[in-house]
Homo-oligomer: A and B are copies of this chain.
Amino acid sequence: MRISKAQTRENKARIVAAAAQLFRERGFERVGVAEVMQAAGLTHGGFYNHFDSKKQLEEEACTLSFGEALGPLSRIGELDSRRRRRAAFAAYVEGYLRQREPAGSAPRCPFVVFGSDMPRQDERTRGVFGKGLRDYLDKFANALRRKSKKPEETRADAIFALAAMVGASTLAYGVDEIDKELAQDIRTSVRERLIDEFGE
Q: How far is the CB of A195 from chain B (nearest CB, A)?
A: 12
Q: Is the CB of B134 within 8 A of A174?
A: no
A192 to chain B, nearest CB (A): 8
Chain B residue contacts of A115, Cβ below 8 A? 115-116, 170-171, 174
B174 touches A189 (CB 8 A): no
**Contact flags A164-175 to B (C-beta < 8 A → 1, else 0):** 111110110111
Taking the full assembly, how many copies of this chain does it contain? Answer: 2
List of B residues within 8 angstroms of A165 by Cβ:
163, 167
Does A164 contact B160, Cβ atoms closer than 8 Å? Answer: yes
Contacts of A160 in B (CB 8 A): 164, 189-190, 193
**Residues 142-180 of chain A: 1 if any B CB is under 8 Å from the residue's CB, otherwise 0?**
000000000000011001101111111011011111110
CB of A89 within 8 A of chain B?
no
Closest to A192 in B: B156
Q: How many residues of A contact B (CB 8 A)?
A: 52
Residue of B nearest to A127 (CB): B178
Q: Is A117 an interface residue (CB 8 A)?
A: yes
Whether the Cβ atoms of A175 and B120 lie closer than 8 Å is no
Residue A118, interface by CB 8 Å = yes
Q: Are B170 and A116 in contact (CB under 8 A)?
A: yes
Q: Which residue of B lies closest to A26 (CB)?
A: B120
A112 touches B (CB below 8 Å): yes
Partner of A111, one of B126, B159, B164, B171: B171
With beta carbons under 8 angstroms apart, the residue of B106, B130, B179 that contacts A178 is B130
Contact pick for A159, options B156, B163, B173, B186, CB 8 Å: B186
Q: With A159-B185, A159-B189, A190-B159 known to touch, is A116 a contact of B116 (CB < 8 Å)?
A: yes
Starting from the known contacts A126-B178, A156-B193, A167-B170, 7 additional A-B residue pairs (CB-CB under 8 Å) come to A111-B174, A116-B170, A130-B182, A134-B182, A156-B189, A159-B186, A162-B167
